[in-house]
Amino acid sequence: MNEHGHEEWKQQLVKCIRCGTCRSVCPVFKEENNENTTARGKVQLLEGVLEGAVKLTPTLQERFNKCLLCKACVKGCPSGVRTDTLFLSARLTNANKNSLPLAKRLAFKGLTFRKLFDTGLRIGSVMQNVVMKKSDDGRGNQARFNIPGSGLDLRRIIPPLAAKPLRDIVPEKTTVTNPKGRAVFFPGCMLNYIYPEAGKAVVNILKRNNWDVTIPTDLSCCGTPAFTSGDQATGRELAAANLKALAGDYDVVITACASCGAALKNEYGEILQNESDHNAWQKLSKKVLDISEFVVKYGDPALFGALPMKVTYHDACHLVRGMDVSKQPRQVFATVPELDFRNMKDADVCCGAGGTFSMAYYNLSRRINDHKLDNAEATGASCLVTGCSACRMHITDGLSQRNSNMRVMHTAEIIDMAYQNGEKQKKGGKQV
């Protein structure tokens, strides 16, 4: 859906029967208790925009920004109002009218210059200590001072940029003899620059199952940060570049980031406009698999070794509602010997990260996150597993704030560990 698709707005808006069911699912509403945060409130505001009663003011823009884009309202809506596409489109319309803050605009533009972006983050990894300091618990970094336009709360603990990005750790092409298939892996920014170990785990998983893996050098950011903020031009540019980079004779496109996966699989379809791009996307979309889906579909369960850990799992919004992935990781956990998996209450409720949401509304996103952590801790698990690096970052920050010693890991890392143990068992060695 794009800005001028007001006909499309209308089609969605008319479906809203104002029943208020969305009140019962919205994590923001649960904290704020304010109708201006519900899907119903926002849907009616858009109706007002179409009728001319509501203007595209900065206040309106702010109301639409105060949304996690967690899709809980889409899932819960009895009338099937596509609030996700509506709200994205509203952000775009607002952004075009009121323009985005300068810092954001520059940052998104920077994403399109892949090389420059890459160089910037590499330099960043060296220079980060100038502005950031290590947090007391050693889990990450905290800002030394308020960085203008960064939206970084001083309390917030964010992971450092990795000393070496994923691309420096694993080769562009990993080949095996007699491959079962060819996979192209789209690591996305966070696995590349912040959690390369999890990215490496993905490559290991594919390799161990005897698949060829390619990580094309000319991949860009998936574009989610741009198009969810209303900068659709940048989003579209990035999408087109990625489609090109991923076009090749691959059987599957592997993602291990909820947002990248949902973008590649679904959201590109909504932002891409020209026909050839759209066609290319349709071909690609069918091949997109989250790494947990891959393991369920193509993985060899006999490779798993015992992994005696107590784990719980958080469903990232863009995995459970963006890619319909929630059974698969649990299926995998159930298959790994000795893995003690404990489902947490409200596992599929948003952790409060919501992309740029947690920067703009840090305190609110912390309160939402606290419920998640309470539920995770109540399971007695010592490790929280999730398939999304943004959730991982936000949850890790939350655990640090409350001095918890629960660990946070990526689904791929757990799978990789179980495989490693499997190999060691076979060789009669020690487990990790």
Ligand X SMILES: Cc1cc2nc3c(=O)[nH]c(=O)nc-3n(C[C@H](O)[C@H](O)[C@H](O)COP(=O)(O)OP(=O)(O)OC[C@H]3O[C@@H](n4cnc5c(N)ncnc54)[C@H](O)[C@@H]3O)c2cc1C
Kind of pairing, strands 132-134 and 383-386?
A: unpaired
The answer to whether 375 contacts another protein (rule: CB under 8 A) is: no
Q: How near is the Cβ of 33 to another protein at its closest, in Å?
A: 5
Q: How near is the Cβ of 31 to ligand X at its closest, in Å?
A: 19
- Residues between 64 and 93 with contacts to another protein, criterion CB under 8 A: 78-80
The answer to whether 252 contacts ligand SF4 (rule: CB under 6 A) is: no
58/308 with CB nearer another protein: 58
- The site partner of 45 among another protein, ligand SF4, ligand X, none (C-beta below 5 to 8 Å per kind) is another protein
CA distances from 157 to 77, 130, 372, 400 (A): 35, 15, 17, 8
Cα(259)–Cα(229) distance, integer angstroms: 14
Output DSSP code: residue 338.
T
The answer to whether 19 contacts ligand X (rule: CB under 6 A) is: yes
Cα(201)–Cα(412) distance, integer angstroms: 6
Angle, CA 213 vertex, CA 210 and CA 216 arms, to 5°: 175
The answer to whether 260 contacts ligand SF4 (rule: CB under 6 A) is: no
Cα(85)–Cα(62) distance, integer angstroms: 17
- The site partner of 71 among ligand SF4, ligand X, another protein, none (C-beta below 5 to 8 Å per kind) is ligand SF4
- Residues between 36 and 55 with contacts to ligand SF4, criterion CB under 6 A: 39-40, 43
The number of residues making up the chain comes to: 432
Cα(405)–Cα(137) distance, integer angstroms: 10
The answer to whether 21 contacts ligand SF4 (rule: CB under 6 A) is: yes
42/372 with CB nearer ligand X: 42
* Consecutive H or E run containing 163: none
Answer yes or no: are the C-beta atoms of 137 and 402 closer than 8 Å. Answer: no
Cα(320)–Cα(348) distance, integer angstroms: 7
59/276 with CB nearer another protein: 59
Please name which of 46, 312, 131, 202 lies closest in space to residue 142, comparing C-alpha atoms.
Answer: 131
The answer to whether 368 contacts ligand SF4 (rule: CB under 6 A) is: no
Cα(255)–Cα(289) distance, integer angstroms: 6
The answer to whether 163 contacts ligand X (rule: CB under 6 A) is: no
80/149 with CB nearer another protein: 80
39/373 with CB nearer ligand SF4: 39
Cα(201)–Cα(199) distance, integer angstroms: 5
The interface region with ligand SF4, picked from 25-33, 103-111, 199-207, 305-313 by CB under 6 A, is 25-33
Per-residue tokens: 316: 């990232």
The answer to whether 79 contacts ligand X (rule: CB under 6 A) is: no
17/106 with CB nearer ligand X: 17
Q: How near is the Cβ of 72 to ligand X at its closest, in Å?
A: 17
Kind of pairing, strands 252-255 and 132-134?
A: unpaired
Per-residue tokens: 36: 């201006």
> How many chain residues touch ligand X (CB under 6 A)?
2
Cα(103)–Cα(381) distance, integer angstroms: 40
The answer to whether 417 contacts ligand SF4 (rule: CB under 6 A) is: no
Q: Figure out which of the listed residues 1, 60, 152, 317 binds another protein, where binding follows CB under 8 A.
A: 60
23/200 with CB nearer another protein: 23
Cα(170)–Cα(187) distance, integer angstroms: 12
- The site partner of 171 among ligand SF4, ligand X, another protein, none (C-beta below 5 to 8 Å per kind) is none
Token pair 């291990």 in the structure block, residue: 256
Answer yes or no: are the C-beta atoms of 254 and 202 closer than 8 Å. Answer: yes
The answer to whether 28 contacts ligand SF4 (rule: CB under 6 A) is: yes
Q: How near is the Cβ of 59 to ligand SF4 at its closest, in Å?
A: 17
The interface region with another protein, picked from 1-9, 19-27, 163-171, 199-207 by CB under 8 A, is 19-27
Per-residue tokens: 423: 């190999």
Please name which of 342, 345, 353 lies closest in space to residue 395, comparing C-alpha atoms.
Answer: 353
The answer to whether 14 contacts another protein (rule: CB under 8 A) is: yes
The answer to whether 18 contacts ligand SF4 (rule: CB under 6 A) is: yes
Q: Could you list the residues that contact ligand X (CB under 6 A)?
A: 19-20
Q: Could you list the residues that contact another protein (CB under 8 A)?
A: 10, 14-15, 17-21, 23-24, 33-36, 38, 41, 44-45, 48, 53-54, 57, 59-60, 63, 78-80
Q: Could you list the residues that contact ligand SF4 (CB under 6 A)?
A: 16-22, 25-28, 39-40, 43, 67-73, 77, 79, 81, 83
